[in-house]
Structure 1
Amino acid sequence: MAQDFKLYDNLFIETNIQSIDYDAVILILYPEELKVTLPRHIDSFINNIVKIDKHVTKTPTVWSCDYVSGGRIILAPTGKITGYHDARVIKEAAYKGMIRALDAGSKKPLLIVQNVVNFPDSQLVCILGALEALYTPIQMRERDNTKNFIKIGFHSEEKRSEGFEKTVRNAIALEKARVFARDIAGGDPERMSPENIVQFVKNKFEGYSNIAINVIDDETTIATDYPLLSAVSRAASRIERHKPRIVEIEYKPSDPARVTETIILVGKGVTYDTGGADLKISGKMAGMSRDKSGAAAVAGFLKACSLLKPPHLKVIGILCLCRNSIGEDSYVPDELLVSKSGKTVRVTNTDAEGRFAMADALFKAGEDALKELNPHIYTIATLTGHARLSYGDYTAAMDNHSAKATNHASKIQFSGARIGEGFEVSIVRPEDLSVNVGKCKGDDLLQVDMDAKCRHHQLAAGFLIKVGGLEDKNVKYTHLDIAGAAGSPPHEPTAVPILSLCHVHKVLL
């Protein structure tokens, strides 16, 4: 069932592009002006092809070539690269190249991994793009564990180097983390119900001495400590497998004395979002099993840490798992709820359930952060359609006042550009906080101001800051709205923002 990658088992570092062990070679074709060095065996062959047919610079093509392993070469062009492009252009070319190789019948492709001066992490991004193309959804694997490849080779130079092996090992660990996250995010609402996610997470971390897992599933405890999550889950709680769960995953390095930073991540894990009493209509409900992509990314980041073992980090991940169902016990607009922070919150739209799912866990994280060394809190969520409308398939990154003082959203945007994930920095302004203030007597906060005509992803961050008690607290907090970036059917989940978090927090080897 597992989709696993192992160096020197099914993944290999290859120094000879004419090796008989492979049945095709994939080459990323870069624009001539980048002056990317081609392997000496094929440089004249490639140059002649480009002269014969300029179309090879636009779409992946397969060519017969006696000078490479398998006698065929797949050319995967990046197309024109301008100053506006980031490393995603390499990831996309490698992904398309691998897809084309598989479509051609290759089971043992050899990927040429070139170093591109303009993109410092180009080799890592290239390998990750190729590995991403091999992903098979979990429910396909559970029915038929036939792999779509036998072995994959990576060629950088004609001699082995310690640096390239480290790059390959980083890529393998990161892709294992992303597969874990994609499995959770992409699994259907029953395969990945709250109950099943708990078991899946436990199984995947079994045997890892640097990971501790705590599951909170007692209804009374959840009602007391996570009252807003409990409200969202009321209709779903009539069914055992749909009952809410809080999953706390903690990574501790082997030497606590070396820890210099603590990261606390809260992930939205709504396993299915019907909209609740404010039911989604006109086909808008389809795809809502992806509303757990934030929790999936949190679990995936912990997986990356467990494999790469960063000595300087302590990491706490909190998966807020629930289902927003409709039924006789649904929470409804006009209800006045009391959050764990003590603030009263008026329900205005049950389809704004994501901020409720995370609110109490975020408040607890803010309290716990005061006892940790150099803490930074994240919320990661497919939270608002407005983020997608504003930024397309990029993540909206928003800092509170403390994180903004260190320009953290800009740092993660920079890491994303390096590693092939896109971010837009969005500023939380005073009105994004004040718009959440209650309007009726006795209301501290509104779930969402239904009269607001704009800034919906920013005001959602403002709500989380206020309900989480992070408005004045000197704790760094960054909200990542991945609604546009997480991947919607029929596309596979992206596992965003695992790569960027690993890059910005120096998780890589």
Structure 2
Amino acid sequence: MSATEFKLYDNVFIETNIQSIDYDAVILILYPEDLNVPLPRHIGSFIDNIAKVDKHIHKTATVWNCEYVSGGRLVLSPTGKITPYHDARVVKDAAIKGMQRALDAGAKKPLLVVQNVVRFPVGQLVCILGALESLYVPLQIRERDATKNFLRIGLHSEEQLSEKFERTVRNAIAIEKSRIFTRDIAGSDPERMTPNNIAEYVKTTFQGDSNITLNVIDDMETINKEYPLLAAVSRASSQIERHRPRVVEIEYRPSDLARVTSTLLLVGKGVTYDTGGADLKISGKMAGMARDKCGAAAVAGFLKACAILKPPHLKVIGVLCLCRNSIGEDSYVPDELLISRSGKTVRVTNTDAEGRFAMADALFKMGEIADTELNPHIYTIATLTGHARLCYGNYTAALDNFSAVGHSRDLQSTGGKVAEGFEDSVIRPEDFSVNVGKCRGDDLIQVDTDAKCRHHQLAAGFLIKVGGLETKNIKYTHLDIAGAAGAPPCEPSAVPIVTLCQIHKVLM
């Protein structure tokens, strides 16, 4: 066999022969002529001829009977016009549409042509990830029906096997494994992924990873003492055993700690369901709130990528802050004065601003840990505010503290290369002052309900203040993925795993 085998959750191969008998369709991404992307030699003249028959091949995915390719079927998936304003998402979108069109046509063993396009330096990785993403089957469907939607996937780059392309495929498979893990947590319903069920799923997924250590905090006395703001959010849900909060700590250590040059500390919001609490969501705004755990899911997924790819230069600590914001007789309510782990008193003003409370105490703890680590960088990752989505649509709002200034711009640039969109947002002085308490005895207020603007920025300001990072010279970046995480009926996007892997050199 001319292919080199890899494993995802089924067979994935590198194939050097576009006419191999092992496949039943070939998928080719069509780029605009002005990019001068060469067509595979077997089918170049065929595509030139059909382009004269139907110009529509450059507008939508089509299927053609072609004797020059494996299976006799050729799926053409165009990117459409590419302008200087486009980034690598055009490659990802074309790969997704092409793979979906092949499956819709009945293909079970598609072969994807993965071309090297100068305009997109990481385009081959993006192309493969797009194709693999389209194959994802939600966990709760897989648990009912183990039938796969494909038998094998082939990836063709050149007629010779190259070490560089093999490395790209290995990276793509590692990332996709971590993204499947992330989507499973983020997309499953609030009963399948209760705090305890997430903790158990994390344990199962990391079983056998020798470079990973896990610690699950489930004792309510400990949570009440060490994570008081998280405990307040989950007070109503804590009356039900399966909905009680969990704090899951995951640590990746490379085999040789002497080679570590940086430490990443990630805190993820894992609200398994957000009713809004006493400030109940109404008018249909509650549907979809099972996705409020996407931040914690992404943190877990990034740690899984590290466990597979084993970056020698990184130490990574992740914390999943898992709780349910329920309404009930023991709900936390506005006007309560709470004492955070940092010692700051915080006045509750809106129980639907629970995400910053869920992460606050873990963030403070990460700040303490960072004092003893080499070159630390703290992240919070959360579906935190509707305001971020209103400002930036389906992009992640990235905000730096003074120590990390410039990192968000790097995320924006890197994200464009790997088909994950980021917007560089800025924290201003007023985003701190707006969080200062108004009543005697208040250090902070949960959220200023009179504020008419800058809600995702003031949320970052609150986290910096309550996390004790206002004056610390520790790099901190807040990622609000509310718009980017993926809302039903779309599957979770698993943002920002690919960008974090790229920018922190986790990939091989």
Does the CA-based 8 Å contact 1:248-1:318 persist in structure 2? yes
Structure 1 residue 9: Cα displacement: 6.4
Q: CA RMSD in A?
A: 1.0
* Equivalent residue, structure 2, for 1:167: 168
Please report the TM-score for the alignment, with normalisation by the length of structure 2: 0.98
1:150 aligns with 2:190: no
Deviation readout 1:268-309 (Å, 9 max, x if unpaired): 000000000000001100000000000000000000000000
Matches within 5 A, 1:260-339: 260-339=261-340
* Equivalent residue, structure 1, for 2:366: 365
Q: Secondary structure at the match of 1:143?
A: coil
* Equivalent residue, structure 1, for 2:457: 458
* Equivalent residue, structure 2, for 1:503: 502
Q: Name the aligned partner's letter for residue 478 of structure 1.
A: T
Q: Secondary structure at the match of 2:380?
A: strand
* Equivalent residue, structure 2, for 1:25: 26
Structure 1 residue 48: Cα displacement: 1.5
Deviation readout 1:33-87 (Å, 9 max, x if unpaired): 0001111000011112222211111110001100000001000000000000111
CA distance in 1, matches of 2:472, 2:124: 41
Q: Name the aligned partner's letter for residue 25 of structure 1.
A: V
Q: Secondary structure at the match of 1:460?
A: helix
CA distance in 1, matches of 2:49, 2:432: 61
* Equivalent residue, structure 2, for 1:37: 38
Deviation readout 1:295-351 (Å, 9 max, x if unpaired): 000000000000000000000000000000000000000000000000000000000
Does the CA-based 8 Å contact 1:293-1:382 persist in structure 2? yes
CA distance in 2, matches of 1:257, 1:333: 49
The alpha-carbon distance between structure 1 residues 77 and 311, as it changes in their structure 2 partners (threshold 3 A), is same
Deviation readout 1:241-272 (Å, 9 max, x if unpaired): 10010000000001000000000000000000
Does the CA-based 8 Å contact 1:263-1:313 persist in structure 2? yes
* Equivalent residue, structure 2, for 1:122: 123
CA distance in 1, matches of 2:469, 2:42: 59
Matches within 5 A, 1:213-228: 213-228=214-229
Deviation readout 1:102-121 (Å, 9 max, x if unpaired): 10000000000000001000
Q: Name the aligned partner's letter for residue 219 of structure 2.
A: D
Q: Secondary structure at the match of 1:221?
A: helix
Q: Secondary structure at the match of 2:404?
A: helix
* Equivalent residue, structure 2, for 1:253: 254
CA distance in 2, matches of 1:461, 1:365: 16
CA distance in 1, matches of 2:265, 2:50: 52
Structure 1 residue 231: Cα displacement: 0.1
* Equivalent residue, structure 1, for 2:3: none
* Equivalent residue, structure 2, for 1:60: 61
Greater CA deviation, 47-56 or 13-22? 47-56
CA distance in 2, matches of 1:135, 1:353: 31
Q: Secondary structure at the match of 2:7?
A: coil
Q: Name the aligned partner's letter for residue 470 of structure 1.
A: L
* Equivalent residue, structure 2, for 1:206: 207
The alpha-carbon distance between structure 1 residues 12 and 310, as it changes in their structure 2 partners (threshold 3 A), is same
CA distance in 1, matches of 2:10, 2:199: 30
* Equivalent residue, structure 2, for 1:432: 431
CA distance in 2, matches of 1:275, 1:229: 14
CA distance in 2, matches of 1:166, 1:433: 45
**Structure 1 runs, 4 residues or longer, greater than 6 Å off:** none
Q: Secondary structure at the match of 2:493?
A: coil
Q: Name the aligned partner's letter for residue 410 of structure 2.
A: K
CA distance in 1, matches of 2:159, 2:9: 17
* Equivalent residue, structure 1, for 2:468: 469
CA distance in 2, matches of 1:47, 1:261: 51
Q: Name the aligned partner's letter for residue 7 of structure 2.
A: K
* Equivalent residue, structure 2, for 1:103: 104
CA distance in 2, matches of 1:348, 1:9: 50
The alpha-carbon distance between structure 1 residues 463 and 9, as it changes in their structure 2 partners (threshold 3 A), is closer
Does the CA-based 8 Å contact 2:10-2:151 persist in structure 1? no
Does the CA-based 8 Å contact 2:8-2:177 persist in structure 1? no
The alpha-carbon distance between structure 1 residues 279 and 7, as it changes in their structure 2 partners (threshold 3 A), is closer
Deviation readout 1:201-236 (Å, 9 max, x if unpaired): 000000110000001111111011100000000000
Does the CA-based 8 Å contact 2:349-2:447 persist in structure 1? yes
CA distance in 2, matches of 1:478, 1:267: 12
Q: Name the aligned partner's letter for residue 508 of structure 1.
A: L
* Equivalent residue, structure 1, for 2:241: 240
CA distance in 2, matches of 1:428, 1:48: 55
Unaligned runs of at least 5 residues, structure 2 = 1-5
Q: Secondary structure at the match of 1:401?
A: coil
Structure 1 residue 7: Cα displacement: 6.6
Does the CA-based 8 Å contact 1:273-1:323 persist in structure 2? yes
* Equivalent residue, structure 1, for 2:399: 398
CA distance in 2, matches of 1:99, 1:8: 18
Deviation readout 1:174-219 (Å, 9 max, x if unpaired): 0000000000000100000001000000000001100000011111
Q: Secondary structure at the match of 2:247?
A: strand
Does the CA-based 8 Å contact 1:25-1:69 persist in structure 2? yes
Aligned residues: 504
CA distance in 2, matches of 1:383, 1:291: 8
* Equivalent residue, structure 2, for 1:141: 142
Does the CA-based 8 Å contact 1:7-1:169 persist in structure 2? no
* Equivalent residue, structure 2, for 1:409: 408
1:73 aligns with 2:74: yes
CA distance in 2, matches of 1:165, 1:95: 21
CA distance in 2, matches of 1:91, 1:233: 39
* Equivalent residue, structure 1, for 2:51: 50
* Equivalent residue, structure 2, for 1:16: 17
* Equivalent residue, structure 2, for 1:388: 389
CA distance in 2, matches of 1:137, 1:444: 44
Does the CA-based 8 Å contact 1:349-1:447 persist in structure 2? yes
Q: Name the aligned partner's letter for residue 356 of structure 1.
A: F
Q: Name the aligned partner's letter for residue 90 of structure 1.
A: V
* Equivalent residue, structure 1, for 2:492: 493
The alpha-carbon distance between structure 1 residues 466 and 9, as it changes in their structure 2 partners (threshold 3 A), is closer
The alpha-carbon distance between structure 1 residues 8 and 349, as it changes in their structure 2 partners (threshold 3 A), is closer
CA distance in 2, matches of 1:249, 1:364: 14
Please report the TM-score for the alignment, with normalisation by the length of structure 1: 0.98
The alpha-carbon distance between structure 1 residues 322 and 80, as it changes in their structure 2 partners (threshold 3 A), is same
CA distance in 1, matches of 2:10, 2:357: 45
Structure 1 residue 8: Cα displacement: 12
Aligned-pair identity in percent equals 78
* Equivalent residue, structure 1, for 2:442: 443
Q: Name the aligned partner's letter for residue 460 of structure 2.
A: A
* Equivalent residue, structure 1, for 2:198: 197
CA distance in 1, matches of 2:55, 2:468: 58
CA distance in 1, matches of 2:243, 2:8: 38
CA distance in 2, matches of 1:346, 1:47: 68
